[in-house]
Structure 1
Amino acid sequence: MSELVLVTGATGYLAAHCVQQLLQQNYKVRGTVRSLGNESKLKPLRSLDKASELLELVEIDLGDTIEKWTRVVSGCDYILHVASPFPIVADDSVIQVAVRGTLVVMEAANKCYGVKKVVLTSSCAAINEGHADENKVFTEGDWTDIDSPKVRSYPKSKTLAEKAAWDFVKNMETGNKFSLTCLNPTLIVGPLITVDQGASVSIIKRFMSGAMPALPYLQMAFVDVRDVAKCHILAMKAKQSDGKRILVTQTPSLWFKDVAEILRKEFGQFNYPIPKYMCPYLFLWIYSFIDKESKEILDRVNRHIKFDNSQAQAMLGLEFRQIDESLIEMGHSLIDNEILPRRNGYEERNNNNQK
């Protein structure tokens, strides 16, 4: 009998890829969704190969009771806790949602003796924010300093949620003593299965829609969504990852001008308004008064983003995809899913999400 894996937030960008890869490997999957009434949102999951035999969707929210979550977790062998808010512009409300959502899943796993392991989707934002030396190479041993005035609400939410999970496991004295692995991906890109428009989609959409009139001197680390999903499943099964944090990222990081050049080579011929010119800090600072997303990145301008991904490679044997291809596939996916308009001369490209 195949094992049952709970995937929280199953219609999300990353979670949908986790569901797809689990089904491909013949796991039974129980996916949580906020509503079973939105069939258009659920259709991409129900259309996945083997979904009719192996996929069950259940309606529950991170704010629901521990009793309800215990019923959902009951019978599961593993939990991939992927669901968590990731707005580009966040306020402190995301902290409570992230921490409470993480703890309710931990508590439910502690009550259900069949659960062997929880894999928690954390973030690099729980690692490299608020440090005196922002340009050093960051590893899993680093933690974001939430007391730094530079650290905004989203990094605080991911840091506090991950710490709450580790504290919960450390202090378990009774009940089901499951294992925990936390994954810390950088910005996730690549093709879409669902049309969930989280931060990753919003950022690449801005590159291609004209919403980014010029390029800030901003560097980011990227990772392909399929690699992150694969890492969840590898960590789920790998005993050596128990009790570990794992940075999940391709290296080196890319400047926004590099991202724009990659996208322009592919989509410029179709007249997508991908920015060409750099934005001086003064102009960005002025623009931030009318654009909240620009304000969010002011502290990150001219930072060199460096991560050590050797643990993911050594412990899980993961080989990361090249990000230029991931970005191109994501651009096509945004157009094919009508998140971006189809311009004259554009021909649909068949993204193969199953690789």
Structure 2
Amino acid sequence: MAGTVLVSGGSGYIAGETIRQLLARGWTVHTTVRNLSREAELRGQLGGSPETLRFYAADLMKDAGWAEAMDGCDAVCHMASPFPTSVPKDENELIVPAREGALRALRFAHAAGIKRFVMTSSAAAIAYGHPPGKSQYDESDWTNVDAPGVQPYIKSKTIAERAARDWVAANAPEMDYCAVCPVAVIGPVEGSDFAASIDLVLRLLNGSVPALPDVGFSIVDLRDIADLHVRALEADAATIHGERFIGSSGPFQRFADVARVLRDNLGPQARKVPTRKMPNWAVHLLAMVMPPARQLLGELGRVRATSSAHAQEVLGWSPRPPEQSIVDCARSLIEKGVVKV
């Protein structure tokens, strides 16, 4: 079903791999960036020709550029969304552009007569704000943004996806809308511009994590989550209409699990990877002097396991094991010189 697709946020980690896979499958890709000064750099990473990959300047909070980017497209893969490098002072710094950007993309897609809209949401919109005893999650679950301790980024992804679904139901019920909800994305890197989840592997390799807190997450490979987006773009309309697909590759992984995979597979290159576990009281002390560590407090001992059975059954998706993703990520960080071991 190759045609022309707009992938918003073309400088992003997941978007880049999705664009590469779409080009390889014969799609023509339009992509948005905030500043066209990055076009030459990104074209070198993404491939394609000026005929098959076209760049447009567009911002989540402005109308300019979106109509031109949508022109001639058969589908939209909306991936652009703000991601914090630190906890913002005002949560609306994340919530407003995430929500308004999704609604803006939907409005312009609808005006252009585009029928297929795949939105990158997140498992953050699924697995938070629930009672402490809950540990297993699927597509029927929604994060409770009013629960204590829910971080601004988690709120932004939840509110944006809900707003998008409400807008489609009210304004374009015929649109084939679906959401892809990735967990922590890990995989090979092209350089130093990558997802925040990669930072964990980097810090374990370079020794900047002195011990392993009792914190974990589910993992999905970059190449597999891009493939899940492509499958959603190419599936029959009835298959994806209104759907939600979790992208997760296997068992819940703790810091200690990731560290063990690195040590077992990298030999001397993993010599800085810690072996000691960090007691919970030490995490609490650390949070008193390092504000970013405060985000770990609510995760101590928690399990947030997500099932991708729905995506596998409906779209025939088959992710690789998380161990392979961890090792491939680490080796690429070393090969690209991002981390010195």
Residue number among 210, 215, 231 corresponding to 1:213 in the alignment: 210
The one-letter code of the counterpart of 1:288 is A
Q: 1:177: Cα distance to partner?
A: 4.5
Q: 1:31: Cα distance to partner?
A: 1.4
- Cross-structure match for 1:235: 232
The one-letter code of the counterpart of 1:259 is V
Deviation by residue 1:52-81 (Cα, 9 ceiling, x = unmatched): 54111222221222x531221121111111
Task: State the distance in 2 between where 1:165 and 1:314 align.
Answer: 25
Residue number among 63, 66, 69 corresponding to 2:61 in the alignment: 63
The one-letter code of the counterpart of 2:203 is R
Matched, 1:279 2:278: yes
Matched, 1:79 2:81: no
Task: State the distance in 2 between where 1:143 and 1:11 align.
Answer: 28
Q: 1:5: Cα distance to partner?
A: 0.7
Is 1:41–1:195's contact at 8 Å kept on the other side of the alignment?
no
- Cross-structure match for 1:346: none
Task: State the distance in 1 between where 2:65 and 2:33 align.
Answer: 13
Task: State the distance in 2 between where 1:95 and 1:274 align.
Answer: 35
- Cross-structure match for 2:17: 17
- Cross-structure match for 1:222: 219
Q: Structure 1 residues 123 and 61, CA, compared in 2 at 3 Å: closer, same or farther?
A: same
SS at 2:185 equivalent: strand
- Cross-structure match for 1:251: 250
Deviation by residue 1:266-285 (Cα, 9 ceiling, x = unmatched): 33403652111100011111
Deviation by residue 1:226-265 (Cα, 9 ceiling, x = unmatched): 1111110111122211101111101211111010011123
After TM superposition, the structure 1 stretch with the greater mean CA deviation from structure 2, 135-144 or 52-61, is 52-61
Task: State the distance in 1 between where 2:2 and 2:126 align.
Answer: 35
The TM-score with structure 1 as length reference comes to: 0.89
Q: Structure 1 residues 275 and 154, CA, compared in 2 at 3 Å: closer, same or farther?
A: same
Matched, 1:182 2:148: no
Task: State the distance in 2 between where 1:182 and 1:37 align.
Answer: 30
Q: 1:305: Cα distance to partner?
A: 2.0
Q: Structure 1 residues 57 and 40, CA, compared in 2 at 3 Å: closer, same or farther?
A: closer
- Cross-structure match for 2:38: 38
Task: State the distance in 2 between where 1:165 and 1:27 align.
Answer: 25
SS at 1:216 equivalent: coil
Q: Structure 1 residues 246 and 271, CA, compared in 2 at 3 Å: closer, same or farther?
A: closer
Computed over aligned residues only, the root mean square deviation of the Cα atoms, in angstroms, reads: 1.9
Q: 1:22: Cα distance to partner?
A: 0.2
Residue number among 190, 195, 220 corresponding to 1:193 in the alignment: 190
Matched, 1:291 2:290: yes
Task: State the distance in 1 between where 2:2 and 2:225 align.
Answer: 23
Q: Structure 1 residues 255 and 328, CA, compared in 2 at 3 Å: closer, same or farther?
A: same
Q: Structure 1 residues 52 and 75, CA, compared in 2 at 3 Å: closer, same or farther?
A: closer
Q: 1:121: Cα distance to partner?
A: 0.5
Q: Structure 1 residues 51 and 257, CA, compared in 2 at 3 Å: closer, same or farther?
A: farther
Q: Structure 1 residues 89 and 268, CA, compared in 2 at 3 Å: closer, same or farther?
A: farther
Deviation by residue 1:301-350 (Cα, 9 ceiling, x = unmatched): 10122222210110001111011111111112222333212x4xxxxxxx
Is 2:250–2:322's contact at 8 Å kept on the other side of the alignment?
no
SS at 2:171 equivalent: coil
User: Sequence identity of aligned pairs in percent?
Assistant: 32
- Cross-structure match for 1:96: 96
Is 1:128–1:134's contact at 8 Å kept on the other side of the alignment?
no
Task: State the distance in 2 between where 1:309 and 1:256 align.
Answer: 21
The one-letter code of the counterpart of 1:58 is Y
